[in-house]
Amino acid sequence: MGDAAGERKELKRAWEEVLGLREEQGRDAYNEGRILMELARLALEAERDLEEAAECIEEALACFRGTHRRRTADVLCLRADLHEAQGDSAGADADLREAAELYRLDDRIADLHRVNRRLRR
């Protein structure tokens, strides 16, 4: 757990630095989305603040949707994890179905199979 706390602290520091950058200084949505994904993942794994995880997930989706199919699908899988943690299996299944379609469109066969296995549970 100490490693997760250290990782979370480093990611939070990186996120604060990213937010302090102006766009011409190298701020970009892709890297912002990646940091947000990791913050959400850590919050979910540690069973911490689900509200914080939800906020990070929604912001990451905003970074990727329409420009990065694979990453959008990855974030949808995270949101499915969040729905499951909240006891919302219908919401989880909806996100997994959307992720599966995005993986299929991006020809990410291994990811598609992984999501389809989750849907069959």
pLDDT confidence band for 1 (50 / 70 / 90) = very low
Are the beta carbons of 84 and 44 closer than 8 angstroms?
no
- CB burial string 105-118: b at 16+ within 10 A, e below: ebebeebbeebeeb
Average pLDDT score over the chain: 89
Predicted confidence (pLDDT) per residue in 3-43, tens digit: 767 777 787 787 777 777 655 566 678 888 999 999 999 98
Spell out where 1-121 has E strands: none
Residue 97, Cβ neighbours under 10 Å: how many?
14
Q: What is the pLDDT of residue 56?
A: 94
The model carries a pTM of 0.84
Dihedral sign computed on CA atoms, order 13, 15, 16, 21: positive
Predicted confidence (pLDDT) per residue in 57-70, tens digit: 999 999 999 999 99
